[in-house]
A and B are shown apart, each in its own frame.
Chain A
Amino acid sequence: MRTSPFLVQPTPLQIVMLKVAGALLPGIALYAWTFGIGVLVQIALASVTALAVEAGCLKLRGRPLQPFLSDGSALVTAWLLALAVPPLAPWWMVVLATAVAIGLAKHLYGGLGQNTFNPAMVGFAVLIVSFPAQMSRWAAPLGLGMAELGGLAQLGWIFTGQLPAGLAFDAIASATPLDTVRTALGQGQPLAQILAAPIFGDVGGTGSEWIVLGWLVGGVFLWQQKLIPWQLPVGYLGALALTASAFHLADPAHYAGPGFHLATGAAMLGAFFIVTDPVTAPTTPWGRLLYAALAGVLTYLIRVFGSYPDGVAFAVLIMNIATPLIDQLTQPAVFGRKRGKAA
């Protein structure tokens, strides 16, 4: 170092990324416990693809593999993507999505730090637009009395599309709680009756309620480590809950309450791991709050009035576009230049 400061705090990017990955672990463990090992297979697939595509892109762009390959950012993208696809999706889906996320959404925009859109969500969006049918069929949580697939059988299904004899995919898969609610509401069933179905637990979906708790634990850990600002998750979950409450109060028979919306789908994962992606979020305190809140409202609207199973991905992508504008409009006052103070 030839210029000051000659001291630097030893918290390299790798550590940051490793901590983010670590914070995902409790949720992942609960996920695997609830839905079987399919999710672990997806994570492995996504990780390998991400590293391979990252290495290829770096080569193509004439950048050194180190330190970029080991910075961990590709890994975090891959894991988030793997968590967003159904655990029993065929192997090529997650591979395709990861390749799109890393190659298109990240490197085509100039690599780490330069992308406008959240790469994991771009990958997810491509899947959901191209393969809506596969994307909406999730494995039923274990222990619901439906047919279950063992670990080996899950592996077999993901890679070969073969199920053990006598089993149809529809027997082991079901729509997600969010989807179920929307479909049933569309058929005119009252909400209370829908929510009494076995795939619904006390607040959200059976089993997945616990996973949501896992994300929450990881998120709080990240916040405690000062790796994510509070404005993003609080703004997001707050706005989602407020919007849900408003609709619920207006018409309880048609609109589920805030608890249901927080505990289902990717809301909690999104709040702590997707909305908080620093590259694509604003950097100012008020900007972050606004960004997250708008993303929360959009998530609700897309969930309830849109035709996709969940709204997190599109809400985040839409807000990504607004990031520069939000940043521009919410520049904080600098030292000595606050109104009424400097005078």
Chain B
Amino acid sequence: MSVLLALCVMAGLALLLGAVLGFAAIRFRVEDDPLVDKIDAILPQTQCAQCGYPGCRPYATAITNDEADINQCPPGGEDGIRQLADLLGREFKPLNAANGVEKPKRVAVIDEQLCIGCTLCIQACPVDAIVGAAKHMHTVIASECTGCELCIAPCPVDCIDMAPLGDTPASWKWRYPVAMLKVVS
């Protein structure tokens, strides 16, 4: 008798929970982006090609197709790799040194005295962050420069420099406050 009761209770519970789960699955379903978009959303969009692909999206495609590993994007750094690892359910691995090293973000600055107006840098810039007309001085729109350094090499007179973005009170961040109570060994 009591066994029967227990069985009934358990069965009832199972049915109820199943119904709840089923309802939740329908009610809270999210329309998913294709994987490439999700990966591309994590990549920093520097478009520097250090990963070995001509931009972030091609790299994202390559990851989706299992042609590239997740640790080839230096601008994304460890954080980026961690996010990719989470998204794809893979193991975290350190940045592949062959692709470069993680650096603080910098922006290109053109020495306007030296620039000869050859437009080569414009053609190299993946995000059109350089303005200037042929034979005239060129300049970088700092807020649009991703710091990819692709404009440095083509410049025939070496007048482009990468300048660090200094911390300002506006960009300054409060640091992580955890002070762990641990025995100092």
Shortest CB–CB separation between residue B56 and chain A, in angstroms?
Answer: 36
Report how far A63 CA is from B182 CA in the complex, Å. Answer: 5
Q: Is the interface of A mostly helix, strand, loop or mixed?
A: loop
- Digitize B150-185: 1 where CB-to-A-CB distance is under 8 Å, 0 elsewhere: 000000000000000000000000000100011101
* Nearest opposing residue in chain B for A59, CB measure: B183
A64 within 8 A of B: yes
Report how far A63 CA is from B181 CA in the complex, Å. Answer: 7
The size class of the interface chain A forms with chain B is under 10
User: With a CB–CB cut-off of 8 A, which chain B residues contact A62?
Assistant: 182-183, 185
User: With a CB–CB cut-off of 8 A, which chain A residues contact B181?
Assistant: 63-64, 67-68
- Digitize A105-121: 1 where CB-to-B-CB distance is under 8 Å, 0 elsewhere: 00000000000000000
In chain B, residues 128-152, which have Cβ atoms closer than 8 Å to a Cβ of chain A? none
Report how far A67 CA is from B183 CA in the complex, Å. Answer: 12
In chain B, residues 24-68, which have Cβ atoms closer than 8 Å to a Cβ of chain A? none
Report how far A3 CA is from B181 CA in the complex, Å. Answer: 19
User: With a CB–CB cut-off of 8 A, which chain A residues contact B183?
Assistant: 62-64
* Nearest opposing residue in chain A for B184, CB measure: A64
User: With a CB–CB cut-off of 8 A, which chain A residues contact B185?
Assistant: 62
User: With a CB–CB cut-off of 8 A, which chain B residues contact A63?
Assistant: 181-183
Shortest CB–CB separation between residue B40 and chain A, in angstroms?
Answer: 32
The size class of the interface chain B forms with chain A is under 10
| Interface residue from A3, A64, A67 paired with B182 (Cβ < 8 Å) | A64
* Nearest opposing residue in chain B for A68, CB measure: B181
* Nearest opposing residue in chain B for A62, CB measure: B183
Report how far A62 CA is from B182 CA in the complex, Å. Answer: 6
* Nearest opposing residue in chain B for A67, CB measure: B181
User: With a CB–CB cut-off of 8 A, which chain A residues contact B177?
Assistant: 3
Report how far A62 CA is from B181 CA in the complex, Å. Answer: 9
Report how far A184 CA is from B183 CA in the complex, Å. Answer: 57
Shortest CB–CB separation between residue B143 and chain A, in angstroms?
Answer: 31
Shortest CB–CB separation between residue A182 and chain B, in angstroms?
Answer: 16
Report how far A3 CA is from B175 CA in the complex, Å. Answer: 11
User: With a CB–CB cut-off of 8 A, which chain B residues contact A64?
Assistant: 181-183
Report how far A68 CA is from B183 CA in the complex, Å. Answer: 12
- Digitize A63-86: 1 where CB-to-B-CB distance is under 8 Å, 0 elsewhere: 110011000000000000000000
* Nearest opposing residue in chain A for B174, CB measure: A3
Report how far A68 CA is from B182 CA in the complex, Å. Answer: 11
* Nearest opposing residue in chain B for A58, CB measure: B183
Report how far A212 CA is from B177 CA in the complex, Å. Answer: 45
Shortest CB–CB separation between residue B133 and chain A, in angstroms?
Answer: 52
Shortest CB–CB separation between residue A307 and chain B, in angstroms?
Answer: 11
In chain B, residues 71-115, which have Cβ atoms closer than 8 Å to a Cβ of chain A? none
Report how far A229 CA is from B185 CA in the complex, Å. Answer: 41
Report how far A3 CA is from B179 CA in the complex, Å. Answer: 14
Shortest CB–CB separation between residue A13 and chain B, in angstroms?
Answer: 13
Shortest CB–CB separation between residue A325 and chain B, in angstroms?
Answer: 12
- Digitize A27-70: 1 where CB-to-B-CB distance is under 8 Å, 0 elsewhere: 00000000000000000000000000000000000111001100
Residue of B177, B183, B185 with most chain A CB atoms under a 10 A cut-off: B183
Report how far A80 CA is from B182 CA in the complex, Å. Answer: 29
User: With a CB–CB cut-off of 8 A, which chain B residues contact A3?
Assistant: 177
User: With a CB–CB cut-off of 8 A, which chain B residues contact A68?
Assistant: 181
Shortest CB–CB separation between residue A157 and chain B, in angstroms?
Answer: 38
* Nearest opposing residue in chain B for A305, CB measure: B2
Report how far A67 CA is from B182 CA in the complex, Å. Answer: 11
Report how far A195 CA is from B129 CA in the complex, Å. Answer: 90
In chain A, residues 1-18, which have Cβ atoms closer than 8 Å to a Cβ of chain B? 3
Report how far A3 CA is from B174 CA in the complex, Å. Answer: 10
Shortest CB–CB separation between residue B170 and chain A, in angstroms?
Answer: 19
User: With a CB–CB cut-off of 8 A, which chain B residues contact A67?
Assistant: 181
* Nearest opposing residue in chain A for B185, CB measure: A62
Report how far A67 CA is from B181 CA in the complex, Å. Answer: 9
Report how far A3 CA is from B177 CA in the complex, Å. Answer: 10
Report how far A25 CA is from B125 CA in the complex, Å. Answer: 77
Shortest CB–CB separation between residue A87 and chain B, in angstroms?
Answer: 34
**Between-chain CB contacts (< 8 Å), 12 pairs:** A3-B177, A62-B182, A62-B183, A62-B185, A63-B181, A63-B182, A63-B183, A64-B181, A64-B182, A64-B183, A67-B181, A68-B181
Given A62-B183, A63-B181: 10 more A-B contacts, CB < 8 Å: A3-B177, A62-B182, A62-B185, A63-B182, A63-B183, A64-B181, A64-B182, A64-B183, A67-B181, A68-B181
List of 10 A-B pairs having minimum Cβ-Cβ separation, nearest first: A64-B183, A62-B183, A64-B181, A62-B182, A63-B181, A63-B182, A63-B183, A64-B182, A62-B185, A68-B181
